[in-house]
Amino acid sequence: MEERRRKAWTLEEWIDWWASKNPQFLLLLDRWKQLLGEEVDQLLLAEAPEAFRINTLKVANPEQLRSEFEHRGWQLERIPWYRYGFWLHEPQVDLGKTLEHFLGYIYEQDAASMVPPLVLDPQPEEVVLDMCAAPGSKATQIAELMQNQGLLLTNDPVTSRLPALRHNLQRCGVRNAIVTQMDGRRFARIPDTFDRVLVDVPCSGTGKVSTEPGILCNWRLGLTRHLARLQRQLLRAACITCKPGGVVVYSTCTLEPEENELVVDYVINRLHMRVEPVEIPGLRTRPGITEWQNRYLHPDLRDTLRIYPHENRSEGFYIAKLVKPH
């Protein structure tokens, strides 16, 4: 995109450009300083290499495929937290136009985006829901972790997004999934149904500063507050439709506390969901915050994960693993 061609700009030039495009950018910058202090400079300049994962549903020998890529001259670096994930340091390669992409051998996906399915940890023979699944990056990874066994229900409410979801499931050789289209909040009508639920909600996307910096031109505080209401409703439905003792993973690619900790705080207090600590070897994370703008939140939110772009060469993510009480 055009913004990416401005890599030679100084931080001050970037800030001036964002501020000229979005009158509320300086408000966003002040909020990030409350989270990170002077480290916000590193966040604003963060960049993430292209990343992909090898799909073991179709590739029996991932190391052999990796060797073939390197033989072609691809400069690959293994992503520390996912054994089949790689960063690509080769700007001449268009992953989306490779034969391996069309055959479903690889899936182009940000490195941090691979984390929520790992936290979900779906098992073969389980019944799993991906509530907001399109276009299918996490859904295909979940099917891979399930070894194409059990049942994976992939849902999305937006009609225009379903063809991409169906295509990616088929392309990647997923056989244990069905596709549904409905508002995710309606899953509250079928309580105690799924062993595990991933609710990767629509969000303001400010964590994409490292891959799509232009997204900061669209941020509005009003948008974050509007999305937070929807996110609370979706997470509530996910908790209700999960079986007692089951796992719900909540994830966003935004850095905004209203869409992250404040949403999870709601289901901890209202539905008594328990936060389960998570550790992903090789991934640098920070604990969730327990105070925001003079509001004190549940102390267990320290066990949720904040993933910052400048620490992991990825997009920014927030992830919470919740267990439903019996």
Percent of the chain predicted with pLDDT > 70:
98
244-255 pLDDT, tens digit each? 999 999 999 999
**Average per-residue pLDDT for the chain:** 96
pLDDT at 82: 97
Residue 5: pLDDT over 60: no
The Cα–Cα gap between 28 and 13 comes to 17
**Average pLDDT for 140-167:** 98
- Reduced to 3 states (helix: H, G, I; strand: E, B; else coil), residue 18 is helix
Q: If you average pLDDT over each of 2-11, 85-94, 284-293, which comes out highest? A: 284-293
The residues carrying an active-site annotation are 253
**Secondary structure in 3-state letters for 71-136:** HCCCCEEECCCCCCEEEECCCCCCHHHCHHHHCCCEEECCCHHHHHHHHHCCCCCCEEEECCCCCC
Confidence of residue 128 (pLDDT cuts 50, 70, 90): very high
Q: 287-290: long-range contacts at Cβ-Cβ below 8 A with a sequence spacing of 24 or more?
A: 288/260, 288/261, 288/264, 288/318, 288/320, 289/35, 289/257, 289/261, 290/261
> CA-CA distance, 234 to 246, in Å (whole number)?
17
Q: What is the pLDDT of residues 208-235, one digit of tens each?
A: 999 999 999 999 999 999 999 999 999 9
Taking the C-alpha atoms of residue 196 and residue 323, their distance in angstroms, rounded to an integer, is: 9
Q: Is the pLDDT of residue 96 over 60?
A: yes
| pTM score | 0.96
Q: If pLDDT is split at 50, 70 and 90, which confidence band does 28 have? A: very high
Summarize pLDDT for 281-307 with one digit per residue, the tens: 999 999 999 999 999 999 999 999 999
Beta bridge partners of 292: 295
Mean pLDDT score, 51-55: 98
In the numeric block, which tokens belong to residue 29?
């910058």
> Residue 90: what pLDDT?
80
* Close Cβ partners of 321 (under 8 Å, ≥ 6 residues apart): 119, 120, 247, 248, 249, 275, 276, 277, 278, 304
pLDDT at residue 2, as a whole number: 45
Look at residue 6 in the predicted model and tell me its pLDDT.
Answer: 56
Average pLDDT over residues 176-183: 98
- What is the arithmetic mean of pLDDT over 187-206? 98
- Span 123-131, mean pLDDT? 98
Say whether domain 112-323 belongs to CATH 3.40.50.150.
yes
pLDDT classification of 7: cutoffs 50, 70, 90: low
Write out the two tokens for 228: 């937070």
> CA 169 to CA 166: how far, in whole Å?
5
